[in-house]
Amino acid sequence: SHASIVEIQKTLARKSCSQDTKLAANPPTVKAGIDYSIPKSTPLVLKGMGSSSDGSQITYTWEQNDAGTKATTYYGSFAYPTKPDGPLFRSVMPAISPIRDMPDLKSVLQNKLTTDWESVSTISRTLHFSLTARNNAALGLGQNNSDEMKVNVSDQAGPFT
C-alpha cells in the first residue's frame, strides 16, 4: 500500500548503516491528476497517467489515504455514507489501467452506491487519494512512484438524479 511504501522510505532515510545502490531501472513517472469537487452521493472516476522510461509495463493502484478515528476504525471500519473520516474505498490489486471507478462500476450500474467495502459520501468532506505506479521490472529492479490528489465532497449540491 501507499502508506506502507511511505513508512518504509521514512525508516530507511533514518538509517545510517545502509549502502545505497543505484538500480538500473528508473522509477516510473506518475500523475494523479488535479483536485476536484463533486456533489454528495456521487460516484467518482479517478484518472491518472504514468510512463516508464525503459518501456517496462506499469501497474497502478489507487488508494484512499484518510486516517480514521477510534470510532471509524476496527469495528467501525466499514464504509457508510455519513462516515466523517477514514477511508470510504478499499484498496484493490494493482491493475494495468490508471483509471478507477469508485464505487466499483458493477455496483454503480446496479444502483448500489454503498457496500461493506465502498460508499459514496452524503456529507461534506475531503477525500485524499494516492496513485502508485510500479514498473514491475524483473530481478529485483522494480521501482515505484506515487502522486496524490483530493476530491472535495459538497453536501450543498446533489445528488445527481
- What's 117's DSSP letter? S
- pLDDT of 160 > 90? The answer is no
Domain count, the chain: 1
What is the pLDDT at residue 114?
96
Q: Does some domain include residue 7?
A: no
DSSP string, 8-55: HHHHHHH-SS------SSPPPEEE----EEEETT--EEEE-EEE-TT-
What is the pLDDT at residue 35?
98
Amino acid letter, residue 90: R
How far, in Å, are 72, 132, 145, 150 from residue 93 at the CA level?
23, 11, 16, 21
Cα 94 from Cα 104, distance rounded (Å): 15
How far, in Å, are 9, 16, 17, 81 from residue 60 at the CA level?
19, 31, 32, 26
Amino acid letter, residue 116: D
What residues contact 116, with CB distance under 8 A and at least 6 apart? 78, 79
Region 103-110 average pLDDT: 96
> Is the model more confident about 10 or about 86?
86
- pLDDT of 112 > 70? The answer is yes
Q: Does some domain include residue 160?
A: no
Q: Does some domain include residue 37?
A: yes
> Is the model more confident about 120 or about 3?
120
- pLDDT of 128 > 90? The answer is yes
Residue 91 sits in a domain whose CATH number is 2.60.40.10
Q: List pLDDT tens digits, range 32-87.
A: 999 999 999 999 999 999 999 888 889 999 999 998 887 777 666 789 999 999 99
Q: Does some domain include residue 17?
A: no
Regarding pTM above 0.75, the answer is yes
Amino acid letter, residue 55: G
Do residues 160 and 154 lie in contact, with contact meaning Cβ atoms separated by under 8 Å? Answer: no
What is the pLDDT at residue 7?
78
Q: Does some domain include residue 161?
A: no
Q: Does some domain include residue 2?
A: no
Q: Does some domain include residue 18?
A: no
Q: Does some domain include residue 99?
A: yes
Provide the percentage of residues in the chain whose pLDDT is more than 90.
Answer: 62
Q: List pLDDT tens digits, range 19-34.
A: 777 777 788 999 999 9
What is the pLDDT at residue 161?
64
Q: List pLDDT tens digits, range 130-157.
A: 999 999 877 777 889 999 999 999 999 8
Core vs surface per residue 87-105: b (16+ CB within 10 A) or e: bbbbeeeeeeebebbbbbe
